[in-house]
Amino acid sequence: MLGSRSLEKAKSAVDEIISEKNRDYIKNNLKSAENVSVASGCDILILTVPHENALETVRSLSARFRGNQTLISAVASVTKKGEEFTSSNGSNGMSYAQKINEVVPGSVKVAAAFQTVPANILYREKEISADVPVVTNEPETYHKVASIVSEIDGLRPLYLGSLRLSGEVERLTALLLNIGKRNGLKSPTISFPSF
């Protein structure tokens, strides 16, 4: 399900994807919905809204979660200041994922992942080789998120630790955007070779 605040917008995004991808699997399976329906209807949710709106979005949906769900936040802490991208934690020095974890029902397990994966590379299905740091408090949640990451060719999930460390991944996006801009690298990502 592709969610939006507006059903019309979700429908037009789904139509666009179906026409650009022209693949039966997508045509038959990708559905549009309002965010409220996604929150109540999906076992695994991926939150992809700007960081300024992340908390209010989750808060507005919190009564809709049906519980026993996994919420993966791809939210990154990035603000453009002039020619540079900076990141900062929000209030109380807490990361977005930590704050989100405080507003969802206890049976919704929160993880942070995908902050270092450029969306356009995934959408254009370009060949990629990258590591995806995942933070979450429970090993079972990590395994769920890791299996989704692993389904995407070229992505390797790496467990980073508990949500206490989510600020570290949320700040990586600003690092990548600055490196890309200053050095002419298109869509940089990260990987951790081991020797």
Ligand X SMILES: NC(=O)c1ccc[n+]([C@@H]2O[C@H](COP(=O)([O-])OP(=O)(O)OC[C@H]3O[C@@H](n4cnc5c(N)ncnc54)[C@H](OP(=O)(O)O)[C@@H]3O)[C@@H](O)[C@H]2O)c1
* 33: phi then psi, degrees, rounded to nearest 5: -160, 160
Among 32, 57, 95, 189, binds ligand X (CB under 6 A): 57
Residue 118 or 167 with smaller CB distance to ligand X: 118
Amino acid at 129: S
What is the token pair recorded at 35?
Answer: 């965010």
Question: Counting contacts by CB under 6 A, is residue 95 touching ligand X?
Answer: no
Distance, CA of 13 to CA of 45 (rounded, Å) = 17
Among 1, 40, 46, 48, binds ligand X (CB under 6 A): 48
Nearest residue to 115 via CA among 48, 33, 59 = 48
Question: Counting contacts by CB under 6 A, is residue 78 touching ligand X?
Answer: yes
Among 7, 18, 44, 49, binds ligand X (CB under 6 A): 49
Shortest Å, Cβ 195 to ligand X? 28
Shortest Å, Cβ 9 to ligand X? 4
Nearest residue to 110 via CA among 71, 66, 149 = 71
Nearest residue to 170 via CA among 72, 52, 37, 77 = 77
Distance, CA of 103 to CA of 63 (rounded, Å) = 10
In 12-136, at which residue ranges do the beta strands (DSSP E only) sit?
32-34, 44-47, 69-73, 79-81, 84-86, 108-112, 130-136
Among 173, 174, 177, 189, binds ligand X (CB under 6 A): 173
Question: Could you give the string, one character per residue 117-156, with x where binding to ligand X holds by CB under 6 A and - elsewhere?
Answer: xxx-------------------------------------
Stretch that binds ligand X, among 25-33, 36-44, 114-122, 154-162 (CB under 6 A): 114-122
| Chain positions contacting ligand X, by CB under 6 A | 4-5, 9, 48-51, 53, 57, 74-76, 78, 114-115, 117-119, 173
